[in-house]
Structure 1
């Protein structure tokens, strides 16, 4: 497994998400400016709803920017125990402890990118190859750590 390819893929995905949120915010702001009319209260209500949408998008953008900060600090060095930045193969799948992005595909491999705050990460934290754990009655064996 090439951890650098995985890390690059995550960085690209996060950059795309940031650009998408910035575009959505810009479009929503533009539509907010286009709603000017003489409709009185309806105008104010619509304007407030658009502002709430902008605030919601801004909050989501901030979360993705925080993910980007975390990922920028990560390296592709190998790990001997499970920690942030570790790539873990269990008998159930591949997990990259980094940020919560869900399923990504790198080099034709499905990898679940999960944050170190995820329940699965917390249970596996500090474990080494060959150890076992259980989450929600789902038993797993740690086969390999990169």
Structure 2
């Protein structure tokens, strides 16, 4: 498994999400400006709802930017002990510990990108090949750590 390649896929996916959120914010702001100029004060409630949507999108944008920035600290060298930047295989699948992003595909392998703060990330932290974890009454064995 090439961890540098996986990290690039994660960065690309986050960049695409950031670009999409920036576009949505710009479009929503444009619609809010049109509402202000053409509808008058009696539609103040709808303008406020649009502003709340912009605020929600801005929060998501900031979270994704923070996630992308945190990827810069990841070491892609091989790991003996599971931590940030580890690629882990259990009988349940492959897990890359970086940021909360969900499933990606690399070389036809499904890899779940999880954060250290996730329940599974916390359970795996500090474990080594051959160690077992118990999460949600399901036992998993660490088969490989990259």
Distance in 2, matches of 1:111 and 1:38, equals 49
Q: Which position in structure 2 is the counterpart of 1:121?
A: 121
Q: Deviations over 1:57-116 (max 9, x none)?
A: 000000000100111221311100110000000011000000000011011100000000
Q: Deviations over 1:31-77 (max 9, x none)?
A: 00111334432x21111111000000000000000100111221311
Q: Which position in structure 1 is the counterpart of 2:96?
A: 96
Note the residue ranges of structure 2 that are not aligned, 5 or more in a row. none
Distance in 1, matches of 2:25 and 2:96, equals 30
Taking structure 1 as the reference length, what is the TM-score of the superposition?
0.96
Note the residue ranges of structure 1 that are not aligned, 5 or more in a row. none
Question: Number of aligned pairs?
Answer: 145
Taking structure 2 as the reference length, what is the TM-score of the superposition?
0.96
Runs ≥4 residues deviating over 2 A: 36-41
Q: Which position in structure 1 is the counterpart of 2:87?
A: 87
